[in-house]
Amino acid sequence: MLIPLLNPISGADYGDTQLALFHLMGEQGVRCDAALARVGQPIYLPNVPPAKRDQHGQPLFYHQDRHRGGGYFDVGNSSVWGVVILRRQREARAGRDIQSLHLPADLGR
């Protein structure tokens, strides 16, 4: 699935944004490859060997629909970005919780 974006996503935000999108798509029954959340992950499409193509060279197991919609996807004003913010808040809270634990100085000696 290729989704044209209204604005580019920074490398710093890319992984979190992809994971949030994958989470929301998973709720709709669409399984995504989490490896694609890595900024440098190459993608080769379509990756279909000749034995899995029909007599005209078309893949036997891919379904294709084109939905142009009303324009480009605005990540910053979507539920995807809401999930990114929620995940980051949870991570920050977990980090604060860990830092708030005060262990005795002689622990482990």
> CA 62 → CA 24, 53, 58, 83, 87, distances in Å?
22, 10, 9, 29, 33
pLDDT in tens, 38-81: 988 888 776 788 888 899 988 887 766 677 677 889 999 999 99
pLDDT in tens, 20-36: 999 999 999 999 988 99
Domain boundaries, the chain: 1-57
Contact 39, 46 (CB under 8 A): no
Q: Is the pTM of this model over 0.85?
A: no
